[in-house]
C-alpha cells in the first residue's frame, strides 16, 4: 500500500527528487510505486495513458536502485518517472501513433530520446495518448482541471499526465503547437527547444523542417533538467549537428545580469484572443513596466501561416502516405483531407515557403538584438470544450516555422480558475537565455502573488 507520504513525493520538484534519489533518501521503486498509484487513481477519468506495464516499470526502478546501491555511477535522471508520447518508439511498449492502423505495433528498438532517457537512469512509466498521427483528431484524453474540456493536442496525454500529478516529467513533440498549446491548457510548463537540438530518430515523421521534440514539467528548472539530458546529435536526424551542450539547468537557475526586456507580441492572429486572455496579458505587461514594450510584427509575418501549412502538409503527403494507402477507412476525414492537400502542393509553392521561412527567421532575429524574449499568448484563451476539438495552434505557428525555442508558463487564470498560458519565445540556439528569462518571470509573478495574499 502506498502511504500518503510516498504518494506526496510526486508533488515535489523533479530537481529536488533527483537529489533525494541520488542520496538514497528516496528509492526509485518507491517513487515509481507512487506514480503507478496516482495513475490507478486518476487516469480512469483523464485517459492520459495508452499503455502502462506496471511490472516492467517496477523492474526498471529496482534495477536503478541496485545500481546506486552497488556504488556504480548513476545518471542525471536517476529514478525519475517519465511518460513518452505514443509516436515515440519504445521497444518494451507498443507505439501505435494514435491510429488503429498501427494497433499493437511493437518497434524493434527505442527511439534516440528513449535510449538517452534510459541511459540517464529515468524510469519509463508508460506511453501517453496522442491525436491521430499527431494531427487534430483527438484521443479520449480529458483536461485534469475540467474533464469537460480538451487537454489540447497532439501531446495531449503527456501534458495531462503531468498536470494531474501522475508523473513529474513527460516527453512530447511539436510540429505546430503540440507542446505549447496542451501545456497552456493543462497549466504546466511546456518547453520546445530550438529546432534540431534534440534528435528525432525513431519518432513518427510529419515534417522534416518543423518536427521538434519538447518536454513537460511543473517548473522551468524541471523542464530544463529534462531537455538538457535529451539534447545531442545523431546521424539518423540530419537536422542535428555536433555542438557544445547547453547547460540548461544552470542557465535556468542563474540570475540575469540585468532585468530581462520583453517584447509583448499578440501575433497577427490577435483577433482570436478571448477578452479574458487579452485582459490578462495587458495586466501582465503592465506589471512588467518599463521592462516590457508592445511590439508589432511587420505585415510580412502573415505569410508565416501559409508557408507553415505548405511545409507541414507536403511533409504529411510524403511521410504519412502509407497510412492513406493502408487506411481502409480507418483514417479520419480531416487526416485524409490533409494528405490530399499535401499531395496537391506544387514544387514552386514549397520552395516559396522555404524562402519565407528563411526571411522570417532573419526578421525575428532582429527582435532579440534588443529583447531577451517575446511575450505572447500560447493559445486564444482557456481550453475549449472537448467536443470543440483540441484548440487553435496558430499562436505557435510563427515560432515553430522559424525554429525558435519557446516555453509556456502557467502564470494566468480566468475567472473560473482555468489556466491561460503565457508563451515566451527566444532567439534561435539561445535556449539558455530563454530559460533564464522564463525562470525570472515565473519567480517574479510568484513573489507578486505571495505579496498580494
Which pLDDT score is estimated for 441?
98
Strand order, beta sheet including 49-52: 49-52, 123-128, 81-85, 169-174, 212-217, 189-192, 406-413, 419-425, 373-377, 262-264, 292-294
Which pLDDT score is estimated for 8?
87
- Which cell numbers in the block locate residue 389? 476539438
pLDDT digits (tens, 9 = 90+) for 4-43: 556 789 999 999 999 999 999 999 999 999 999 999 999 9
Kindly report the backbone phi and psi dihedral angles of residue 123, in degrees, each rounded to the nearest multiple of 5, phi listed first.
-110, 120
CA 175 to chain centroid: 11
What whole-number distance in Å separates Cα of residue 314 and Cα of residue 349? 10
Catalytic residue IDs: 85, 154, 178
Which pLDDT score is estimated for 5?
56
Which pLDDT score is estimated for 4?
52
Which pLDDT score is estimated for 449?
84
The Cβ of residue 365 has, within 10 Å, a number of other Cβ atoms equal to 14
- Which cell numbers in the block locate residue 211? 518536427
Which pLDDT score is estimated for 1?
40
What is the pTM assigned to this prediction? 0.97
Regions of the chain with pLDDT less than 50? 1-3
Which pLDDT score is estimated for 281?
93
What whole-number distance in Å separates Cα of residue 191 and Cα of residue 155? 12
Which pLDDT score is estimated for 328?
79
- Which cell numbers in the block locate residue 362? 532573419
Helix/strand number for the chain, H first, E second: 16, 11
Specify whether the CB–CB gap between 31 and 78 falls below 8 A: no
Which pLDDT score is estimated for 450?
83
Of residues 220, 229, 200, 216, the one with CA closest to residue 128: 216
Question: What architecture (CATH level 2) is domain 80-453?
Answer: Alpha-Beta Complex (3.90)
Amino acid at each position: 500500500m502506498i502511504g500518503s507520504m510516498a504518494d506526496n513525493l510526486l508533488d515535489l520538484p523533479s530537481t529536488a527528487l533527483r537529489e533525494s534519489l541520488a542520496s538514497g533518501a528516496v528509492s526509485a521503486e518507491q517513487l515509481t510505486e507512487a506514480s503507478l498509484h496516482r495513475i490507478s487513481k486518476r487516469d480512469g477519468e483523464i485517459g492520459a495513458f495508452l499503455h502502462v506495464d506496471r511490472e516492467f516499470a517496477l523492474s526498471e526502478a529496482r534495477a536503478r536502485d541496485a545500481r546506486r546501491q552497488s556504488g556504480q555511477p548513476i545518471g542525471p535522471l536517476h529514478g525519475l518517472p517519465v511518460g513518452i508520447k505514443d509516436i515515440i518508439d519504445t521497444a518494451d511498449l507498443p507505439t501505435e501513433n494514435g491510429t488503429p492502423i498501427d494497433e499493437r505495433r511493437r518497434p524493434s528498438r527505442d527511439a534516440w530520446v528513449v535510449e538517452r532517457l534510459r541511459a540517464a537512469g529515468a524510469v519509463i512509466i508508460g506511453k501517453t495518448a496522442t491525436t491521430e498521427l499527431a494531427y487534430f483528431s483527438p484521443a479520449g484524453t480529458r483536461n485534469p482541471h475540467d474533464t469537460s474540456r480538451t487537454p489540447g493536442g497532439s501531446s495531449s496525454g503527456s501534458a495531462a499526465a503531468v498536470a494531474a500529478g501522475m508523473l513529474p516529467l513527460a516527453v512530447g513533440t511539436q510540429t505546430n503547437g503540440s507542446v505549447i498549446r496542451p501545456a497552456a491548457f493543462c497549466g504546466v510548463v511546456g518547453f520546445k527547444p530550438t529546432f534540431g537540438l534534440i534528435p528525432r530518430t525513431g519518432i513518427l515523421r510529419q515534417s522534416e523542417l518543423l518536427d521538434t521534440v519538447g518536454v513537460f514539467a511543473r517548473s522551468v528548472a524541471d523542464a530544463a533538467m529534462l531537455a538538457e539530458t535529451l539534447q545531442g546529435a545523431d546521424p539518423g536526424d540530419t537536422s542535428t549537428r555536433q555542438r557544445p551542450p547547453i547547460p540548461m539547468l544552470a542557465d535556468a537557475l542563474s540570475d540575469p545580469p540585468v532585468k530581462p526586456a520583453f517584447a509583448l507580441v499578440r501575433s497577427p492572429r490577435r483577433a482570436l484572443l478571448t477578452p479574458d486572455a487579452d485582459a490578462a496579458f495587458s495586466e501582465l505587461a503592465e506589471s512588467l513596466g518599463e521592462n516590457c514594450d508592445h511590439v508589432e510584427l511587420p505585415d510580412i509575418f502573415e505569410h508565416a501561416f501559409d508557408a507553415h501549412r505548405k511545409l507541414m502538409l507536403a511533409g504529411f503527403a510524403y511521410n504519412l502516405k502509407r497510412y492513406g494507402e493502408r487506411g481502409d477507412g480507418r483514417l479520419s476525414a480531416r487526416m485524409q483531407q490533409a494528405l490530399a492537400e499535401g499531395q496537391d502542393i506544387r514544387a514552386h509553392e514549397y520552395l516559396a515557403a522555404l524562402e519565407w521561412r528563411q526571411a522570417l527567421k532573419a526578421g525575428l532575429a532582429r527582435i532579440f538584438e534588443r529583447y531577451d524574449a517575446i511575450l505572447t499568448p500560447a493559445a486564444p484563451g482557456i481550453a475549449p470544450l472537448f467536443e470543440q476539438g483540441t484548440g487553435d495552434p496558430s499562436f505557435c505557428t510563427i515560432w515553430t516555422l522559424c525554429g525558435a525555442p519557446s516555453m509556456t508558463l502557467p502564470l494566468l487564470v480566468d475567472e473560473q480558475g482555468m489556466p491561460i498560458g503565457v508563451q515566451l519565445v527566444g532567439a534561435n540556439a539561445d535556449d539558455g537565455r530563454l530559460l533564464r528569462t522564463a525562470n525570472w518571470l515565473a519567480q517574479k509573478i510568484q513573489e507578486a502573488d505571495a505579496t498580494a495574499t
